[in-house]
Amino acid sequence: MSVSVTTWSLEQTSAGDLRPAGEPPAGVRVVRAEVPSPEFSRYLYAAVGGDLRWTDRLALGRSAWREIVERPGTETWVAYEHGTPAGYLELAGGDDGVVEIVYFGLLPQFRGRRIGGCLLAYGTARAWDLATRWPGRKPTQRVWLHTCSLDGEYAMANYERRGFRLFDTRVEEEPDRPAPALWPAP
């Protein structure tokens, strides 16, 4: 059995495209995870994407995760609410001045509380100034991402409110697999 999935690719081509999101809710702060940690990155990926059917990285071993998070130009920015991880954004900067927002999302209990807009705006600004933290990198000239019909119901609207523009749409049939279980039992 398969399911039809629409994937939208969006971009900004100037730092001036970014639209702010307003002040984060009280107790929310965004911090860069400066020490690459495959364990922490896998936790964020599974906790945020579990109910959204994120599965592409689940089968990767620790060494593959380590290779991803230690790649020059890769950054993980984490939103915390009162010290608890609420969501994250992963950036992958290329040598060509292009930065991809590879993953972005919130844990289910933090969705719909204005944290996502703040995290996306802050993380996108960090994509635009990524070269300042990675000496020798070409300045960012384009920030892009993709989202799909399986992602959260507010995802596309959030991207558009932050100034991202659609540049590609694809529809593909994918296996209809259940969301991965974060917990072995209810």
State whether residue 22 is helix, strand or coil. Answer: coil
Q: Are 87 and 77 in contact (CB under 8 A)?
A: no
Per-residue pLDDT, 1:
84
- Measure the CA–CA gap between 37 and 40, rounded to whole angstroms: 5
Helix (H) or strand (E) holding 70: helix 62-70
Per-residue pLDDT, 52:
86
| Helix 38-49 vs helix 62-70: crossing angle, to nearest 10 | 100
Neighbours of 43 (CB within 10 A): 14
Bridge partners (DSSP) listed for residue 32: 77
Helix segments in 88-163, DSSP class H: 115-128, 155-161
- Measure the CA–CA gap between 184 and 92, rounded to whole angstroms: 32
- Measure the CA–CA gap between 102 and 11, rounded to whole angstroms: 12
- 55-59: Cβ within 8 A, 24+ apart: 55/177, 55/180, 58/180
The pTM score is 0.93
pLDDT in tens, 121-173: 999 999 999 999 999 999 999 999 999 988 888 899 999 999 999 999 999 98
CA 143 to chain CA mean position, Å: 12
What residues does each domain of the chain span?
2-175
- Measure the CA–CA gap between 186 and 174, rounded to whole angstroms: 27
| Topology of the domain covering 2-175 | Aminopeptidase (3.40.630)
% of the chain with per-residue pLDDT over 90: 77
